[in-house]
Structure 1
Amino acid sequence: MGLTSHKVLALAVLLAVALFVGTVLLWPRLAHRSWRSVTGRVGLLLGTQLAIFAAVGLAVNQAFGFYATWADLFGQEQGQGVVSNQDAAGNRGPVQVVSTQEVGVAGGALPTVGGQIQEVDILGRTTHIATTAYVYLPPEYFQRQYARRTFPASVVLTGYPGTAEALIRGLHYPQTAHELAAAGRMQPMILVMLRPTVAPPRDTECVDVPGGPQTESFFARDLPAELGARYRTAKKWGIVGDSTGGYCALKVAMHHPGVYGAGAGLSPYYKAPHDPTTGDLFHGVVRLERRADLKWYLAHVPPPVTSLLVTSSKVGEHNYKSTLDFIKRVKPPTRVSSIILDSGGHNFNTWRREIPATLEWLSGRL
């Protein structure tokens, strides 16, 4: 059974309840000063607390999508995947649809009414990075009158470590896009939802690591090229993400304005960290490290022709002052907008409050 399985969560809850009841019932029998009684009490208390901790942890992971598998949780995901080059007669291409699912809206069983979410495997031609994504296609994509129309497309990124499923189940991106488009508040838009961790378990911060994963190039070249060839997407894309994904979204939009016409960072930071999850991203190459510092980039590189959106809150977010500083540094022709809440933490609840306005903003820039 998988880490995110409801059966696993149910078993953990039942175990916690059973141990709690057992502790209450057995405690009188263990109310002695012998070493056996003391050991029994310690064992019951420790077992109950561990079971409760496991149940709460599993529930939180399901709600926020931190880890997708047991291997992901224990840091055993090491492989990036292998690109298999095949000729035209082969069944495998750069983008392969693995499965489909409903969007979870009224009438969602019909793609022409609810749209569709397609799980796809992507193989980057130039970076040789393989990853999984979820592609939301709006209802109009399947309607006959729009058969020749191209649609604006946006990449949607999680934080680190994150799971792509959380963008659907926790942050409700497809449902929100469907509702906004139906209300006429945004264009029907294709959403490509994935995590920035394309070389697990390492947090590459969307950096082209010397001698390592070329993550920025994957998002700047391979992803829009491969999916643009598979789906009817417009030429310029948008990109949005939260936390680490927000940093990635801003950086990719700033570095590659010819590909991304707009980038939105929800609770982003503005400089790649150096910690045990990232390792040495730059290998002493000062030019690469400076380029990944978005404030340095704004001060030393000609302003890119793109639109940026940043979010924060006055109380609850640690990036409030740095976000205001980032906004002050932006110069034309770069355009910058912001969403500043009075209060809100670094969590899903805050981002759900910002996503509708963010999607409307992206729609207006593409």
Structure 2
Amino acid sequence: MSLTSATLLVFTLCCTALLFAATVWLWPRLARQGWRPALGRVGLVLAVQALVFSSIGLGVNRSLLVYGTWDDLLGTASPSALMAQDPAGDALVKVIGRQHPDVPGGMTPQIGGEIQKVMVQGRQSKVATPAYVYLPPEYFQKGNEKRTFPAAVVLTGFPGTAENLLKPLPYPKTAWTLAKQKKMQPMILVLMRPAVGPRNTQCVDVPDGPASETFFSADLPQAISGAYRVGTSARNWAIMGDSTGGYCALKVALQHPEHYAAGVGLSADYKPEIDRDSGDLFHGNKDEEKRSDLLWSLDHLPQGTSSFLVTTSLQGESNLGPTRKFVEKVKDPARVSSITLDHGGHSFNTWKREIPPSLEWLGGRLAAE
């Protein structure tokens, strides 16, 4: 039974209610003196509490999709980053599944587009990681067989799963709606986690570890452009994300303008968070550690021609100060825009409000060829 399924949540709630009723019914019988009745009372109380907390946890996780599977929850998931064994010249993108977007007419690709689950292999980084690729309906329509499309890499926070970007953050549905309303051009979306393994690699090339920055900055555009009708120049590519994914998006766009013309950070961090999820990302390399601080980079490294969009809130968001500093530090030839909400937290509800204007902004800064 899936960790995020409604069936599991309903089953747990029913078990909680039944055990609570049984506890009320049995309590008078367990009120006697002695170690056996006392042990029975303790067992029932602990069991009811365990089921209550399990129900709350399952409900919250189903809403926020922090853990997508039992392996994610238990920490037994095999690494999603694997050494790529295919020789140069073989396909770097392998389709392993397809699904229909949640839009009107979604069963027909020419009307609703298509979502493909893929494995992407990095030629330079030597890693492979899963992703979802949303192809807009125009990709399949007659007469567009040779048409190229702009692409945007979209990253979750950490922890999180790429499924978060399908629901509750409905990126394909939002992109489909905006294109239908002529508010943005049709765009291919590459939906992923910001880590290329079980660690929170935060778009850093970890010494003796995953080459996360190399994967996102160079390998990913190369692989996707080789598999789909996407251009290979920077003006064809953008990258965006929320929280840790927002940090990665800004870092990659800032430090690799040769590959990405635009970057969007929704409630972004501005330097990597070093904790037990990340481990030691730098292994004593102070220069790389400073470079990974985006505010330091803006002051000390050349700024390219990329455009940036950053979001924050006057109340409820901890990144308000750093976001304002980021905006102040961006200089020509780079460009920066911002969205500041009156109220908003570090949550899906906030990001759902920011996704439509962010995609519109991206659409105006990319070219199809």
Q: TM-score, normalised by structure 2?
A: 0.94
* CA distance in structure 2 between the aligned counterparts of 1:139 and 1:78, rounded to whole angstroms: 34
2:218 pairs with 1:221: yes
SS at match of 2:52: helix
2:12 pairs with 1:15: no
Amino acid at match of 1:311: T
Q: Aligned residue for 1:322?
A: 322
Query: Which has the larger displacement, 43-52 or 24-33?
Result: 24-33
2:227 pairs with 1:230: yes
Per-residue deviation at 1:304? 1.4
**Per-residue deviation, residues 315-359 of structure 1 (Å, max 9, x unmatched):** 111111111111111111111111100011110000001000000
Q: Aligned residue for 2:332?
A: 332
Structure 2 counterpart of 1:123, from 121, 124, 139: 121
Per-residue deviation at 1:125? 1.5
| Map 1:204-219 → 2, pairs under 5 A | 204-219=201-216
Q: Which consecutive residues of structure 1, in runs of 5 or more, have no partner in the other structure?
A: none
* CA distance in structure 2 between the aligned counterparts of 1:5 and 1:131, rounded to whole angstroms: 24
Matched-pair contact (CA < 8 Å) for 1:103–1:114 = yes
Q: Aligned residue for 1:199?
A: 197
The alignment yields a C-alpha RMSD, in angstroms, of 1.5
Per-residue deviation at 1:69? 2.1
Structure 2 counterpart of 1:182, from 148, 167, 180: 180
Matched-pair contact (CA < 8 Å) for 2:249–2:265 = yes
* CA distance in structure 1 between the aligned counterparts of 2:330 and 2:41, rounded to whole angstroms: 62
Q: Aligned residue for 1:135?
A: 133
Per-residue deviation at 1:279? 1.0
* CA distance in structure 2 between the aligned counterparts of 1:77 and 1:255, rounded to whole angstroms: 32
Q: 1:288 to 1:100 in 2, by over 3 A?
A: same
Per-residue deviation at 1:32? 3.6
SS at match of 2:77: coil
* CA distance in structure 2 between the aligned counterparts of 1:87 and 1:334, rounded to whole angstroms: 35
SS at match of 1:337: strand
* CA distance in structure 2 between the aligned counterparts of 1:65 and 1:227, rounded to whole angstroms: 26
Q: Aligned residue for 1:147?
A: 145
Q: Aligned residue for 2:168?
A: 170
* CA distance in structure 2 between the aligned counterparts of 1:155 and 1:57, rounded to whole angstroms: 30
**Per-residue deviation, residues 202-251 of structure 1 (Å, max 9, x unmatched):** 11111001121100000011111001100011333111100000000000
**Per-residue deviation, residues 171-203 of structure 1 (Å, max 9, x unmatched):** 000001111110011111100001012111x11
Aligned identity (percent) is 53
Q: Aligned residue for 1:111?
A: 109
2:97 pairs with 1:99: yes
| Map 1:62-73 → 2, pairs under 5 A | 62-73=62-73
Amino acid at match of 2:208: G
Matched-pair contact (CA < 8 Å) for 1:205–1:244 = yes
2:322 pairs with 1:283: no
* CA distance in structure 2 between the aligned counterparts of 1:124 and 1:231, rounded to whole angstroms: 16
2:78 pairs with 1:81: no
Per-residue deviation at 1:34? 3.4
* CA distance in structure 1 between the aligned counterparts of 2:194 and 2:346, rounded to whole angstroms: 18
SS at match of 2:220: helix
Q: 1:61 to 1:37 in 2, by over 3 A?
A: same
Matched-pair contact (CA < 8 Å) for 1:266–1:311 = yes
Q: TM-score, normalised by structure 1?
A: 0.95
* CA distance in structure 1 between the aligned counterparts of 2:33 and 2:238, rounded to whole angstroms: 67
* CA distance in structure 2 between the aligned counterparts of 1:123 and 1:8, rounded to whole angstroms: 35
SS at match of 1:46: helix
* CA distance in structure 2 between the aligned counterparts of 1:85 and 1:331, rounded to whole angstroms: 42
* CA distance in structure 2 between the aligned counterparts of 1:83 and 1:5, rounded to whole angstroms: 33
Q: Aligned residue for 1:293?
A: 293
Per-residue deviation at 1:83? 1.9
SS at match of 2:224: helix
* CA distance in structure 2 between the aligned counterparts of 1:190 and 1:309, rounded to whole angstroms: 19
2:5 pairs with 1:2: no
Matched-pair contact (CA < 8 Å) for 1:63–1:166 = no
SS at match of 1:224: helix
Query: Which has the larger displacement, 47-56 or 348-357?
Result: 47-56
